[in-house]
């Protein structure tokens, strides 16, 4: 995750207010919107092979996904790329940059959680809604393939997927776990992982699968219950993306990197004919071996010649972590190449610029590029503040009222923890860790945990170091 340092400052900007979904985007003064605007229709996608764009800046508004779509069945596509789509791009307004307020380190404490228990590269933590301590249980997933449940009565190994998981490189492994929103009825878990190739010698690939927890034994997965939903060939061992999240619409969102190496050598970020470099949105509610998923009819590129209908947004380099807030907005941190790290709020049909842009800067070509049709990030920062963003979560707990509604994110290299307030657009540094934070998690109460590469899990607490978390 680490890359060579360049200098720049943390920037937050406001986007011209959205007066209506179809209104001319060139008008309006920069402003910050505290609540999401109505869901907008997707702009026509830019040419899938275009590689140009200049600095858009940061916006504090975003369009959340439709809360209650009615997806319809479509034939399940294969994971191989389809022909490149070539519709024309539209133009985007450029907001003016503003300087954030001075950082205030030490606003919160980072305290060891779970009695100081350490793990093997923890990558995911979330509420686990089963068992006698369901209201106070969490799962923790390790990159090597193990998933534990931590509860008041101790801990249990829920799943050991190590024989199936590749750890051949630093960015491969078990990358994400999500509990099904209807878990009480279907007992399902969803995992995204790098496939071990020692047995089949097949291509490097990642896999999205469903597992079923034993109804009579809530801390055990039913043997043989894995249902493979999707496999993606990965040309390189890095930039696998990896976050599975369920939206308020009940659909599954998965963030996928551009396929790896450096500089997006295959142009996947701007290619609507591949799922790489995108966030996909699929309906897995009736998943079966015959039809692993359906493509929702209201996905933005359904019916676009040459485009993959699963794509919800694209132009992303490596959206390692994502999170929905209570307003239905989908936040992600997109890891940059050499200059800028960015925070995005994902809009339906949005093009986030890579590899035409890195943050708000031209990437390819590096001068005189055209940013038409791209969606600017909410926030960005350069190498003076860090080198690899770890996207976080919106704080919805009670321990630290000052953080309520703020999006928390950090940098893997510098350990800086920031709080971004969507209503004002301000970004404040609230803590700093000496550990490399690789992921965030939340418990059932909305309290936030930082998962470190070295194995420790830290809880965000008031300055006193107390609170309701574990």
Which domains does the chain possess? 11-461 (2.120.10.30)
Report, as an integer, the average pLDDT of 258-269.
93
Place of tokens 């939206």: 247
Report, as an integer, the average pLDDT of 403-412.
96
Give the pLDDT confidence score for residue 77 in this predicted structure: 39
- Band the pLDDT of 364: cuts 50, 70, 90: confident
Percent of the chain with pLDDT over 90: 69
Give the pLDDT confidence score for residue 63 in this predicted structure: 33
Alpha carbon 134 to its chain's center = 26
Cβ count within 10 A of residue 105: 12
Report, as an integer, the average pLDDT of 141-169.
95
> Where would I find the H helices in 160-299?
183-186
Tell me if the bond preceding 442 is cis, omega within 30° of 0.
no
What CA–CA distance (Å, rounded) separates 321 from 189?
18
Give the pLDDT confidence score for residue 286 in this predicted structure: 96
What CA–CA distance (Å, rounded) separates 358 from 51?
12
pLDDT single digits (tens) 250-262: 999 999 999 999 9
**Mean pLDDT of the residues in the chain:** 81
Top-confidence residue, 425 or 1 = 425
pLDDT single digits (tens) 48-67: 333 322 222 233 333 333 33
What CA–CA distance (Å, rounded) separates 270 from 47?
8
Is pLDDT above 60 for 29?
A: no
- Band the pLDDT of 74: cuts 50, 70, 90: very low
Percent of the chain with pLDDT over 70: 76
DSSP annotation of 25: T
The tokens for 88 are 């024309």
């Amino acid at each position: 995750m680490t890359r060579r340092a360049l200098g720049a400052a943390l920037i937050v900007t406001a986007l011209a207010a959205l007066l209506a979904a179809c209104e001319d985007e060139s008008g309006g003064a920069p402003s910050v919107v505290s609540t999401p605007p109505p869901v907008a229709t997707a702009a026509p996608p830019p040419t899938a092979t275009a590689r140009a764009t200049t600095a858009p800046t940061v916006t504090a508004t975003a369009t959340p996904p439709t809360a209650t779509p009615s997806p319809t069945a479509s034939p399940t596509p294969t994971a191989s790329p389809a022909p490149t789509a070539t519709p024309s791009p539209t133009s985007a307004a450029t907001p003016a940059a503003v300087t954030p307020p001075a950082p205030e380190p030490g606003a919160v404490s980072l305290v060891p959680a779970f009695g100081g228990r350490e793990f093997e590269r923890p990558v995911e933590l979330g509420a686990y809604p089963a068992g006698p301590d369901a209201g106070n249980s969490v799962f923790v997933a390790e990159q090597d393939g193990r998933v534990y449940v931590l509860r008041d009565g101790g801990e249990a190994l829920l799943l050991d997927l190590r024989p199936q998981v590749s750890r051949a490189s630093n960015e491969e492994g078990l990358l994400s776990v999500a509990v099904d929103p209807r878990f009480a009825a279907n007992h399902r878990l969803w995992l995204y992982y790098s496939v071990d190739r020692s047995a089949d010698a097949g291509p490097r690939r990642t896999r999205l699968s469903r597992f079923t927890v034993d109804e009579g034994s809530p801390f055990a997965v039913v043997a043989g219950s894995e249902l493979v939903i999707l496999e993606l060939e990965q040309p390189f061992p890095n930039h696998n993306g990896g976050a599975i999240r369920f939206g308020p619409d009940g659909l599954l969102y998965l963030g996928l990197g551009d396929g790896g190496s450096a500089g997006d050598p295959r142009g996947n970020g701007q290619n609507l004919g591949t799922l790489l470099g995108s966030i996909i949105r699929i309906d897995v509610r009736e998943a079966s071996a015959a039809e692993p998923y359906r493509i929702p009819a209201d996905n933005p590129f359904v019916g676009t010649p040459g485009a993959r209908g699963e794509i919800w947004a694209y132009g992303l380099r490596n959206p390692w972590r994502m999170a929905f807030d209570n307003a239905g907005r989908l936040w992600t941190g997109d890891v940059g190449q050499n200059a800028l790290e960015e925070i995005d709020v994902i809009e339906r049909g949005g093009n986030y610029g890579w590899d035409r842009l890195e943050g708000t800067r031209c990437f390819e070509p590096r001068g005189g590029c055209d940013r038409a049709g791209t969606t600017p990030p909410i926030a960005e920062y350069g190498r003076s503040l860090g080198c690899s963003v770890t996207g976080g979560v919106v704080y919805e707990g009670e321990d630290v009222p000052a953080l309520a509604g703020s999006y928390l994110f950090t940098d893997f290299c510098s350990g800086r923890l920031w709080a971004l307030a969507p209503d004002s657009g301000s970004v404040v540094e609230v803590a700093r860790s000496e550990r490399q934070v690789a992921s965030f998690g939340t418990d059932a109460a909305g309290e936030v945990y930082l998962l470190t590469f070295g194995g420790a899990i830290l809880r965000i607490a008031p300055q006193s170091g107390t609170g309701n978390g574990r």
